[in-house]
Chains A and B, each alone.
Chain A
């Protein structure tokens, strides 16, 4: 039963005044037709007072003393009577059943005050064991959380977060671990509603989280909506506290809860990693579900949301941490993490503060073991990520791009890639990277850059001698031919774009990977294609393209590349 509290003398006064007001309204007269609508409204107000509100007030004044609580402390124990209880106990007001308790109501400052006081003295288990009381608390907290003024008042007046948070979180943890049987959804609903009260207050004070165990704090903190850096700092503070016994139960622990929340907030994930890599063991070792670390690292260093500057504060530190601890085995994770940031690892890049030597050491560490193959499989990711960054910074110097091509070549076409098929894939990778670099380098610098890159690769990281001779030579030939084909295709695209060729003009020939000597086959087809170009084989277009292609694949020395001459 819902009670209201009242001062009998004042309520009796209100009753008298309402009667007087109704009588006044009924006495209003006016014969002018222009006043008809106003008079109707006056009558309706009089009716409302006389037929609805006076009976309500009189019913309260005449309330059956037997139905009124004899001991408000005992009889008004229910949470939803907090306000009436406070008025009765602390102010000495009378209490009666509320005749209109079922009507829609709004939460008031007085109720917030009473609720904050009442929660601090209540037996929590009594509320949590009562589904109606827990549901009422959730609804009330939601109402408070919709009103910034009420929310600020509640946060100011309620100071028993630790006791409530721990009790609710404990029940939740025990139930998830099958050691108790509580309504987790109801608990989660209440936790969320209480936590979200802070979300409507500008820059809320969150000291209340410190009064809870880390597990409970995580349950509440996951619902906070804060700027990324502040959220990251809050989470990091919680994760640095010593774990509690609830973390040892089956089910997601403190770190799992927070990392799962971060996965939905990429900006906060990045900001959190910037803090977490200062003490990576705390972060990595506290997760009950170790796969979450990899997910968070991938999300937090994703170039879609993280800047090169931010990742520069995360990735080198993380790689150095793993490199210094041989007992840890992150598997292919590190290869995935470096794949979108290869430009930053290249020798001439200045985005990160680590030296070129240190970056070279770290990326080689990231690609050891299965990491190298994973890196080669990530070719598309490497190329598209680099393209995105190059598009954003068109003024990358040519030496940086050639250094990048050379670095990729040195990484992927090395003696550890023994299988012929994988070596071919690695060469494709280098060709793609070289083509990307070429597309961002103006004019015929293309050839220079590519020559630098390919020469570095070819001289130092050519096909492995343990491959069959044919396969090794074929791989070399195919790689150079593919590079030449990419250059031809690039120049053709420029011609079409600039109107030198019509849009429907056939493109240069594709490389035939089934051919015994791809360079010879492709070059023959290219010459056929050049013959019919506007201007013919000796025309300006043909000359420009041949000059570019020959910097990589010169027909006079093709035999040197392939070993077939």
Chain B
């Protein structure tokens, strides 16, 4: 049986982190807060408070979508790095 690459563990850890970040991104994507604006519009109430809430929800949703994209990008970087480590030869070790 061939010995495991000395980089195997590090690659596995990175893949685990990528999986974890993707799970978080999926979770964030399914939150109720994305849909709150639909229930906070002018068919529910009208006035200065309604306007302020609508503006606030729009801003926060934009921030949330940006966070999700950022998590997915980070997960892709971890996967790429893991692939790189896994491809390294078994000799030489890592200091």
Question: Residue A83 at the B interface, CB < 8 A?
Answer: yes
Residues on A with beta carbons closer than 8 Å to the beta carbon of B28 = 28, 38, 42
Given known pairs A13-B39, A21-B36, A48-B56, the reply for A38 and B46 (CB within 8 Å) is: no
User: Among the listed stretches A2-10, A159-167, A217-225, A416-424, which one makes contact with chain B, having 4 or more residues with CB under 8 Å of it?
Assistant: A2-10
Question: Residue A216 at the B interface, CB < 8 A?
Answer: no
Contact A14 B24 (CB under 8 A): no
Contact A60 B67 (CB under 8 A): no
Interface size class of B (residues with CB under 8 A): 20 to 34
Q: Give chain A interface residues in 12-69, CB to chain B under 8 Å.
A: 13-14, 17-18, 20-21, 24-25, 28, 30-32, 34-35, 37-38, 41-42, 45, 48-49, 53, 56, 60
Contact B46 A30 (CB under 8 A): no
Contact B48 A101 (CB under 8 A): yes
Residues on A with beta carbons closer than 8 Å to the beta carbon of B33 = 21, 24-25, 45, 49
Which residue from chain B places its CB closest to the CB of A104 in the assembled complex?
Answer: B52
Residues on B with beta carbons closer than 8 Å to the beta carbon of A48 = 56, 60
Question: Residue A87 at the B interface, CB < 8 A?
Answer: yes
Residues on B with beta carbons closer than 8 Å to the beta carbon of A4 = 45-50
Residues on A with beta carbons closer than 8 Å to the beta carbon of B32 = 17, 20-21, 24
User: Among the listed stretches A105-113, A203-211, A330-338, which one makes contact with chain B, having 4 or more residues with CB under 8 Å of it?
Assistant: A105-113
Q: Give chain B interface residues in 16-34, CB to chain A under 8 Å.
A: 17, 20-21, 23-24, 27-28, 31-33
Given known pairs A21-B33, A32-B20, A48-B56, the reply for A38 and B71 (CB within 8 Å) is: yes
Question: Residue A497 at the B interface, CB < 8 A?
Answer: no
Given known pairs A11-B45, A21-B32, A24-B33, the reply for A34 and B53 (CB within 8 Å) is: no
Cα of A10 to Cα of B50 in the assembled complex, Å: 13
* Chain B 1-45 near chain A by CB (<8 Å), digits 1 or 0: 000000000000000010011011001100111011001101111
Residues on A with beta carbons closer than 8 Å to the beta carbon of B24 = 28, 30, 32, 35, 38
Residues on A with beta carbons closer than 8 Å to the beta carbon of B52 = 100, 103, 105
Interface centre among B33, B42, B71 (most CB of A within 10 A): B33
Partner of A30, one of B20, B36, B63, B70: B20
Interface size class of A (residues with CB under 8 A): 35 or more
Contact B45 A38 (CB under 8 A): no
Cα of A129 to Cα of B20 in the assembled complex, Å: 66
Question: Residue B64 at the A interface, CB < 8 A?
Answer: yes
Residues on B with beta carbons closer than 8 Å to the beta carbon of A10 = 39, 43-45
Q: Give chain A interface residues in 416-437, CB to chain B under 8 Å.
A: none
Given known pairs A24-B31, A103-B52, the reply for A41 and B67 (CB within 8 Å) is: yes
Contact A38 B67 (CB under 8 A): yes
Q: Measured between C-beta atoms, what is the minimum distance from A245 to chain B in Å? A: 43
Contact B31 A25 (CB under 8 A): yes
Residues on A with beta carbons closer than 8 Å to the beta carbon of B53 = 53, 56
Cα of A34 to Cα of B64 in the assembled complex, Å: 15
Residues on A with beta carbons closer than 8 Å to the beta carbon of B71 = 34-35, 38
Question: Residue A98 at the B interface, CB < 8 A?
Answer: yes
Which residue from chain A places its CB closest to the CB of B61 in the assembled complex?
Answer: A45
Question: Residue A269 at the B interface, CB < 8 A?
Answer: no
Question: Residue A99 at the B interface, CB < 8 A?
Answer: yes
Q: Measured between C-beta atoms, what is the minimum distance from A233 to chain B in Å? A: 40
Cα of A7 to Cα of B70 in the assembled complex, Å: 38
Question: Residue A367 at the B interface, CB < 8 A?
Answer: no
Partner of A45, one of B17, B27, B51, B60: B60
Which residue from chain B places its CB closest to the CB of A56 in the assembled complex?
Answer: B49
* Chain A 74-90 near chain B by CB (<8 Å), digits 1 or 0: 00000000011001000
Q: Measured between C-beta atoms, what is the minimum distance from A84 to chain B in Å? A: 6
Cα of A265 to Cα of B94 in the assembled complex, Å: 80
Q: Measured between C-beta atoms, what is the minimum distance from A47 to chain B in Å? A: 11
Contact B36 A60 (CB under 8 A): no
Q: Measured between C-beta atoms, what is the minimum distance from B58 to chain A in Å? A: 12
Which residue from chain A places its CB closest to the CB of B17 in the assembled complex?
Answer: A32
Given known pairs A14-B40, A24-B32, A41-B63, the reply for A30 and B21 (CB within 8 Å) is: yes
Partner of B47, one of A2, A14, A34: A2
Residues on A with beta carbons closer than 8 Å to the beta carbon of B20 = 30-32, 35
Contact B48 A18 (CB under 8 A): no
Cα of A24 to Cα of B70 in the assembled complex, Å: 20
Cα of A7 to Cα of B42 in the assembled complex, Å: 10
Contact B45 A18 (CB under 8 A): no
Given known pairs A17-B32, A18-B36, the reply for A60 and B46 (CB within 8 Å) is: no
In the complex, 15 of the A-B residue pairs with CB atoms within 8 angstroms, ordered by the A residue number, are A3-B47, A4-B45, A10-B45, A17-B32, A24-B33, A25-B31, A38-B28, A42-B64, A48-B60, A83-B46, A84-B46, A103-B48, A103-B49, A106-B51, A110-B42
Residues of A within 8 A of B (CB): 2-7, 10-11, 13-14, 17-18, 20-21, 24-25, 28, 30-32, 34-35, 37-38, 41-42, 45, 48-49, 53, 56, 60, 83-84, 87, 93, 98-103, 105-106, 108, 110
Q: Top 6 closest A-B pairs, CB basis?
A: A4-B47, A6-B45, A10-B44, A21-B32, A21-B33, A38-B67
Residues of B within 8 A of A (CB): 17, 20-21, 23-24, 27-28, 31-33, 35-36, 39-40, 42-53, 56, 60, 63-64, 67, 70-71, 74
Q: A5-B45, A56-B49, A103-B52 are in contact. List 18 more A-B contacts (CB 8 A).
A: A5-B47, A13-B44, A17-B36, A24-B31, A24-B32, A25-B33, A30-B20, A35-B20, A42-B64, A42-B67, A49-B33, A83-B47, A84-B46, A87-B46, A101-B48, A102-B48, A106-B51, A110-B46
